[in-house]
Structure 1
Amino acid sequence: MGNRRISAAAVGAVLLAASVWPALHFSSGRVRRWRRGAGLARRAGRLGVRVFGQGNPVLVLLPGIAASEAYFGAAYDRLGEIATVVVIDPLGFGSSMDAGVSTDSFALEEHLAAITGALSALDLDGRPLHVAGHSMGASLAIQWAAASDGDIRTVVAFDAPLYRTRAETDERVRHLGWFEALLSTGALAHTVCAWMCRHRSAASVLAVALNPTMPAAIARDGVKHTWFSYIQSFEALVAADTWTGAVTSLSGRGVPLLLVDGEVDPVPVPGRALALSAEFAGVTARTHRGGHGLPLASPGWCSDLLYRQITAA
């Protein structure tokens, strides 16, 4: 009798999950607003990229950690009217994942060199450049623009994790929630990532199941990284204060930097963007309704903002 009750409970749980997931998925605004973006995925140097548009200026779009070029969907296609858009999978993620690389390949310098190499392989260096990124990609955008000797016109950073100390990093990660904090660093995160690498197909299915309000293609791409690419990129681009000098450099060169945070985003340090806008010439702080994930949750608004930035430069 006990086993029958357990079996009935298990069947009930499965049926409940099977009914709840579609309801959550198809009612999600992020799912309804997302479609695959224009352009064909290809390889450029060490990185996977998607290129579209015919405009003379180049717009580089960089997704966040454990994301891919799919994050910037069809709402961003209109930017191809005024720019050549290059959506890049950062080194070690998405189509830029390479499980065979050495474990010291994800330092900041490697990330920066890979982006520069990709634009060179596409024969796009030498044109006016606009750079935008989300989360870890926002930090990467700021630092690549500062290190580049190209003609950088604007930098837009959505939901940037600009931390000065390790304590700040740990505090903001905890604000994401217990599950995210548990899997961000440490032994459990390493174990989960190791399992994912051995069973990537199963992990992609599980990722979709655990993220019903996320477009399935984006959830699947979230498992396309290794432990080394994840943790070393986190340490180099999220946990480390390598961005302060970059902001100083951009300000000194007169390159406009726009910091855009969600009004209820737990990732940025409260008040940091506003403080930076008061400290540095050329830095502007804005907020928009929503949390961490503005380019996916409000793609039309973010696309319009980028359109205006490019045409005004």
Structure 2
Amino acid sequence: MGNRRISAATVAAVLLAASAWPALHFYSGRVRRWRRGAGATRHAGRLGVRVFGRGNPVLVLLPGIAASESYFGAAYDRLGEVATVVVIDPLGFGSSMDAGVSNDSFALGEHIAAITGALHALDLDLDERPLHVAGHSMGASLAIQWAAASEGDIRSVVAFDAPLFLTRAETDERVRHMGWFEALLSTGPLAHAVCAWMCRHRSAASLIAVALNPTMPAPIARDGVKHTWFSYIQSFEALVAADTWTGAVAELSGRGVPLLLVDGETDPVPVPGRARTLAGEFACVSASTHRGGHGLPLSSPGWCSDLLYRQISGG
């Protein structure tokens, strides 16, 4: 009898979840606003890229950790009117997951070198064209540091929801603010075990990711499992947990490169006041907020696209 009660309760919970998922998915603003973006994904150098547009400036877009180029959907297609847009899967993620790199190849220098190599492989005449770069979350940190290391003609950097942490304690605190589930799966033995299972059962993991994220476009949720433990944890340590960005911000400011830090008003990840502090310290840094949490390029794609359009057009 007890077993039958447990089984009935389990079935009821499953049926309730199954009935709620379509409604949550259908009414999700992120789902309704997203469509797959222009251009086909292909490999350039060690990375998966998607290229579209014919404008003279080159715009590089970098998604965050455990994300892929699909994060920047059709709302960003209009940027192709004013730029040649290159959306890049960072090393070890998305279509760059199986790029033939070893387990210890996800340090900051490897990420930067891979982006530079991919752009050169595309033969875009970068020596003759202005460059703009934007990124989200981990991709925002990577955008800042790649731009600072680049010898190209960098005209602007836009960082959405950038995790600009100074200490590991600060990192842990901000991750905890995202919620107990995110904190539990960010680092540690359980996160390692979950990631290991995901690597062994990636098809099943992609279905589970979709089921657990009803308010997320399904292709984006599926792409969220396209990484390994090594690419995830080493990239997290190099680009999220480590203070590798302060020198890059100073370098960009010294070169007169505008850096715009854009945070969601309810985003729990950025340190409160950090963007404003940096804007007060460096003349070329500006800070802005927009309604939303830690996912502005997906939750407010039209607004983010318009912002980038103005940056590139000089208006």
Q: Considering the TM-score relative to the shorter chain, is it more than 0.5?
A: yes
Q: Equivalent of 2:265, from 263, 271, 294?
A: 263
**Pairing of 1:217-296 with structure 2 (within 5 A):** 217-296=219-298
- Whether contact under 8 Å (2:69, 2:88) holds in the other structure is yes
1:146 match: secondary structure = helix
Contact 1:58 1:130 in 2 (8 A): yes
Q: Is the 8 A contact 1:34 1:74 kept in 2?
A: yes
Which consecutive residues of structure 2, in runs of 5 or more, have no partner in the other structure?
A: none
Contact 1:99 1:226 survives alignment (8 Å): no
Counterpart among 191, 194, 208 of residue 193 in structure 2? 191
User: Root-mean-square deviation (CA), in Å?
Assistant: 0.9
**Aligned pair count?**
313
- For the residues of structure 1 that align with 2:152 and 2:99, how far apart are their CA atoms? 31
Between the aligned partners of 1:292 and 1:9, the Cα distance in structure 2 is 34
Distance 1:306 1:277 in 2: 19
Distance across 1 between alignment mates of 2:99 and 2:88:
18
Please name the residue that 1:310 is paired with: 312
Equivalent residues of 1:159, 1:293 under 8 A apart: yes
Could you list the per-position Cα deviations for residues 130-180 of structure 1 after superposition, in whole angstroms to 9, with x for gaps in the alignment? 000000000000000000000000000000000011111010000010000
Q: Which amino acid in the other structure matches residue 285 of structure 2? A: V
1:168 maps to which residue? 170
SS where residue 185 of structure 2 aligns? helix
1:11 Cα deviation after fit:
2.0
Q: Per the alignment, in what secondary structure is the counterpart of residue 304 of structure 1?
A: helix
Report the alpha carbon displacement of residue 13 of structure 1 after superposing the two structures with TM. 1.5
Of 146, 156, 159, which aligns to 1:157? 159
- The letter of the residue matching 2:231 is S
The corresponding residue for 2:215 is: 213
CA contact (8 A) 1:139 1:161 kept: yes
| Structure 1 counterpart SS, 2:193 | helix
Equivalent residue letter for 2:304: C
Q: Distance in 2 between matches of 1:196 and 1:101?
A: 19
State the secondary structure of the residue aligned to 2:303.
helix
Instruction: State how far apart, in whole Å, the 2-side matches of 1:147 and 1:282 are.
Output: 17
The residue identity in structure 2 corresponding to 1:141 is A
Q: Show the counterpart of 2:6.
A: 6
The C-alpha deviation readout for 1:4-41, integer Å capped at 9, x for no partner, is 32332222122111100111111110000000000011
CA distance in 2, matches of 1:152, 1:288: 25
Letter in structure 1 aligned against 2:167: T
SS of residue paired to 2:260: strand
Which residue identity does 1:281 align to in structure 2? Answer: A
Gaps of 5+ in 1: none
Instruction: Give the distance between the partners of 1:116 and 1:32, measured in 2 at CA.
Output: 34
Find the residue that maps to 1:184 and give its secondary structure.
Answer: coil
Q: Which residue of 2 aligns with 1:139?
A: 141
Alignment of 1:17-166 (within 5 A): 17-98=17-98, 101-124=101-124, 125-126=126-127, 127-166=129-168
